[in-house]
Amino acid sequence: MTDDGPRIRQLNSREVYRSAWMRIREDDVEFPDGSTGLYAVVDKQDFVVVLPYQDDGFWLVQQFRYPVGRREWEFPQGGWPAGHTGAQVELAAAELREETGLRAGTLTHLGRLHAAYGYSSQGYDVYLATDLTAGPAARESTESDMVHAWRSEADVRAMIRAGTFADAHSVAALALFDLCP
């Protein structure tokens, strides 16, 4: 079906939860065949994933991820703090600097993806950061346990196969990197 095909129509919407990071709403909907149902949607602010590439490898970050109860490796990523906005490329530069201390001479947009469009409106942009120079990190309090380390491309791919680099957004970002000329 093309983008011009039948759509699910929103009949009513109500907010059931809100915090500084997300909003959950329930929508009464009508499906293309006329039947009705309920859709729960998580609205979250868009974010960025940054692939800091240097010497045939990537700079990764690792931190404790509370929902899964363990430390996880991933590419630097994040969204604007509450009350702040700006261009996604500015956010990419800020997240890279904040989490690793690195500054990118070049930020190349690799693509835009959806986080989980089956239940969330959140999307993210992926940037390749090159021409890197080191500087001090400026992590948020929630990132106080974060560390960063360089890994070769081969090591990152081996980590994916071993399940030690399992962040879906990071793995998808690497796929976009692989598609670049």
- 5 pLDDT band, cuts 50/70/90, is low
Residue 57 clears pLDDT 80, i.e. is over it: yes
pLDDT tens-place string over residues 155-170: 999 999 999 999 999 9
What are the tokens at 157? 């791919």
> 82 and 159 share a domain?
yes
The range of the structural domain enclosing residue 13 comes to 9-44
pTM: 0.92
Predicted local distance difference test score (pLDDT) of residue 1: 44
18 domain residue, yes or no:
yes
102-131 in b/e form (b: 16+ CB < 10 A) is bebeebbebeebebeeeebbbebbbbbbee
In this structure, the answer to whether residues 61 and 35 fall within a common structural domain is no
pLDDT in tens, 82-118: 778 899 999 999 999 999 999 999 999 999 999 999 9
Structure tokens at 143: 């990132």
Whether residue 167 sits in one domain with residue 109? yes
The predicted-structure confidence for 24-55, as pLDDT tens digits, reads as follows: 999 999 999 999 999 999 999 999 999 999 99
The tally of domains found in the chain comes to 2
Residues 36 and 61 in one domain: no
Question: Is residue 4 included in any domain, yes or no?
Answer: no
Say yes or no: 159 and 86 in one domain.
Answer: yes
Q: Are residues 81 and 113 in the same domain?
A: yes
For the cut 70, the answer to whether the pLDDT of residue 123 exceeds it is yes
Same domain assignment for residues 51 and 135: yes
